[in-house]
Amino acid sequence: MPYVMPSHPAPPRRGGGRRSRFFAALAAAVTLATGAALLSPATEARAAAPTAAPRAAAALERVANFGANPGALTMYVHRPAALPADAPVVVALHGCTQSAQLYADNSGLNTFADRHGFLVVYAETTTANNANKCFNWFQPGDTRRGQGEAASIRQMVAHATAAYGTDPAKAHVTGLSAGGAMTSVMLAAYPEVFAAGAVVAGIPYGCGVDVVSAFSCMSPGADRTPAAWAQAVRDAHPGFAGPWPRVAIWHGDNDATVAPRNADELRDQWTAVHGLGQTPSRTSTLGPNNTRRSEYVTAGGRTAVEVNKVPGIGHGTPVAPGTGPQQCGATGTQHFIASICSSYWITAFFGLDGTTTEPPTEPPVDPPTEPPVDPPTEPAACWTASNYEHVRAGRATTTGGYAYAKGSGQNLGLYNTFVTRTLKESPAGHYTIATGSCP
């Protein structure tokens, strides 16, 4: 996932000395840690068997000039032989150390593009942007509307409409790992552009803001309230009232790189954005491996969010090599794991398989309000302690070097033994910063 180098490195400063050597050592240490996580996961190696070579893959078409490109990305497309007018478009974002061609050859998306007639846009980053070829999902300069990599990807969608005649109302986005986290970025920063997205082994929007917090987001993951997660999405495009993109979440149960709890946090984020609760409307299993699907359905009968938890696999894109109607993809390279063809189900979720008819677009929903808390029947309990002690006692959680009150999600300040707060518990398990008198 992340790497320590910034999106666009500044020229080196003169001198160096102990300070330069320290940061060089730090960079090397994080590189090794990241490389170990990405390049040698034993779980993926075991789960990838049996290995299947990809079918004869057609080279992607590179688009040399697609317009404004502040994020310095490269655009490729896979265009079916007979692309209909007003075709849908799916933007695909590769994982760290991967390329657009590798993702196209192994994910299986092109199989369904050819079968159902939609354009696939493959965005590719470079080692100049990030030494591990990760999309910079944790760099504010690349994740904000109108800036960096996010703006470049949005421009690719606009170019697809102008150059290939795709329908701007039928744009979708999906990606793996860092590409999955960048999918979250695109859905939040440009909700009016994308009808739906699919996040594979990714992270909620607004979690990482630098390298340190990014690693914490990956594992153990950040614990925030649905309301706090949803606010991060709304803050990405202030004033946007909907309709919001639909979101499919895919995650392996044994993922040791991006903790599986991120699937739950993504669920919390997008169900809250859609004004839904976190209890699924219906559950089911998919495929021979019994992938567990939970769906969160609006009052109009539309699945706004779904979570697909794939048993027995680690960090990667689930694929099912073969020629059957629900098979796709290839293994034999890192992070494509023999299991279930996620691209088949993602294509269906997007409504691009020719059999799914989506209900009419629903009107915008007002942001959900927190239900009123009944006054406690007994005096509220209070604790005064350092943020370190609050976290140890289970009254707060920590992410990105800060502590957050459990239940309310209020920022308590730096996670250390020097910052002291008084927390009030009311009702049980819900903590807020005490104001005024407190027993």
Contact 403, 222 (CB under 8 A): no
Query: Distances in Å between the alpha carbon of 83 and those of 106, 113, 138?
Result: 22, 9, 35
- Catalytic residue, chosen from 7, 107, 152, 177, is 177
Q: What is the DSSP letter of 433?
A: E
Q: What is the DSSP letter of 203?
A: -
Kindly report the number of other CB atoms within 10 A of residue 268's CB atom.
21
d(CA 119, CA 302): 25
**What is the Cα 354 distance to its own chain's centre?**
26
H or E stretch at 119: strand 119-124
Counted residue by residue, the chain has a size of 439
List, in order, residues 6 or more apart from 289 with CB less than 8 Å away: 310, 311, 312, 339, 340
DSSP per-residue codes, 31-74: HHHHHHHHH--HHHHHHHPSP-PPP-PPPPEEES--S--TT--E
Q: Comparing C-alpha atoms, which of 156, 223, 208 is closest to residue 178?
A: 208
Q: What is the DSSP letter of 257?
A: S
d(CA 266, CA 384): 32
Kindly report the number of other CB atoms within 10 A of residue 378's CB atom.
7
H or E stretch at 29: helix 17-39
d(CA 104, CA 175): 11
State yes or no: is 342 an active-site residue: no
**Angle at the Cα of 242 (from 239 to 246), degrees rounded to 5?**
135
d(CA 316, CA 44): 8
Q: Which residue has the tokens 């809250």?
A: 272
Q: Which two tokens stand for residue 403?
A: 């502590």
**Residues noted as catalytic:** 177
